[in-house]
A and B are shown apart, each in its own frame.
Chain A
Amino acid sequence: SQQGEEDPQALSIQEGENATMNCSYKTSINNLQWYRQNSGRGLVHLILIRSNEREKHSGRLRVTLDTSKKSSSLLITASRAADTASYFCAHPGSGNTPLVFGKGTRLSVIA
């Protein structure tokens, strides 16, 4: 299986704190993506970072990518209760096949 791993599996923080989630993957990639899933809903794309980029920002999101370590991190700054969701990293599969997803991190932001 090409499936990677997110760490931690679950994270609980207070509103206003920062949340950091990590992702490890197994193969060479040309991009890595992060998705959010609210309870009972479909996944929503958050941000994409290319293999030649090391860091990318989008609003309160900051993503880093270290291809030498096959790892990525997602930082959500100044978290809000509405950020409560599961977060998944994903990358294109080998041979140009569809996205391979990690197992996700469940984030709870307590107001």
Chain B
Amino acid sequence: NAGVTQTPKFQVLKTGQSMTLQCAQDMNHEYMSWYRQDPGMGLRLIHYSVGAGITDQGEVPNGYNVSRSTTEDFPLRLLSAAPSQTSVYFCASSYSTGVNTEAFFGQGTRLTVV
């Protein structure tokens, strides 16, 4: 039972490069989200999806794109990396955002932009 799988675990990018952070879940969850975690800031929502073909912006969406072509996968794309995007990125999934729903998290991707 893999749960939520994120790849890569670590990545170093140069300013201006692009890359895709992968996220896959095997729990048939409709809801998937991307967060970034910075020291002293907690987790902040970047983008989320309530099902295949549907995405929406969170609190800090600028500089990131997402798509949801399947229930299982929710990749996060950095279009032109900037040092301000240095962070730890977490993908999460849940059955819904309703009353009795917990979120399951991946192990994170630590990204450094130089």
Contact = CB atoms under 8 A, between A and B. Distances in A.
A90 B97 CA distance: 12
A56 interface: no
Interface residues of B, number: 29
A96 B105 contact: no
Contacts of B107: 41-42
Interface residues of A, number: 27
A82 interface: no
A78 interface: no
A58 interface: no
Interface stretch (A13-21, A59-67, A68-76, A97-105): A97-105
B45 A48 contact: no
Interface in B59-86: 59
10 contacts: A30-B99, A35-B105, A42-B106, A43-B90, A93-B45, A96-B98, A98-B97, A98-B103, A101-B44, A103-B40
